[in-house]
Amino acid sequence: MDTKTDAKPDAAERKENEEAVEATETSGAAEADGAAEAEGATGTSEADDTYDADEVAEAEAAAAEPRPAGAGQGAGAIVSVGLGIVALSGSWLGTVASARESLIGQLNTAQTASVATQVSEVYGDSWHAAALVGGVFALIALIVGAVVLARPAFGAPGKAQATWIKSTAWAGVSLGVLGLLLAVAKYTDLLLGLPKTS
């Protein structure tokens, strides 16, 4: 009787011990899984934070870098140079205006007019018309070049202007000034004036 009584507690104790061991193993595995998940989450968040920080740094660096000016300023600079060359070398419009003034002078001048009057009406007005057209082209070239040079300060602050655009715009401004001076000199007969008649 005592043996059976002793055997029952031993079996009960053994069963309790086994259940306790299983519970301990289960809780240990759960804790290990939780720790692994926590480590994985921490590693991912740190990697995400690092990645986000790198993206922000790159975006800030790109925003801080001076960007070159657009194509419009380059086109304006080239147009300025072209207009300056036309002002100096002459244009089809100047030729037409000169021929028109010459024809008007011939029609309005009487055959009995003096030589000085005929020269002035037929050739002088024609010369002045060509000089006037050249001066208009030179003035436009000067204005366009000046606008291109002033564009970064007013229209697009903070953006760097390409060196070739500045150089071309300055060339257009220089040609415009030179063409304007020559046009004024021709129009006022300071340069290649009409010949004197006796």
Token pair, residue 182, equals 């020559």
106 contacts: CB under 8 Å, gap ≥ 6: 121, 122
The domain limits of the chain are 1-65, 71-187
The tens-digit pLDDT sequence of the chain (198 residues) is 444 444 445 666 666 666 665 656 565 555 555 555 555 555 545 545 555 666 766 666 655 555 554 677 888 889 999 999 998 888 888 888 888 888 887 787 777 667 777 777 777 788 888 889 999 999 999 999 999 888 776 665 566 777 888 889 899 999 999 999 999 998 887 877 666 765
| Rounded-to-integer distance, Cα 96 and Cα 103, Å | 11
C-beta separation of 174 from 84 below 8 A: yes
Token pair, residue 32, equals 């290990």
The pTM for the full model equals 0.59
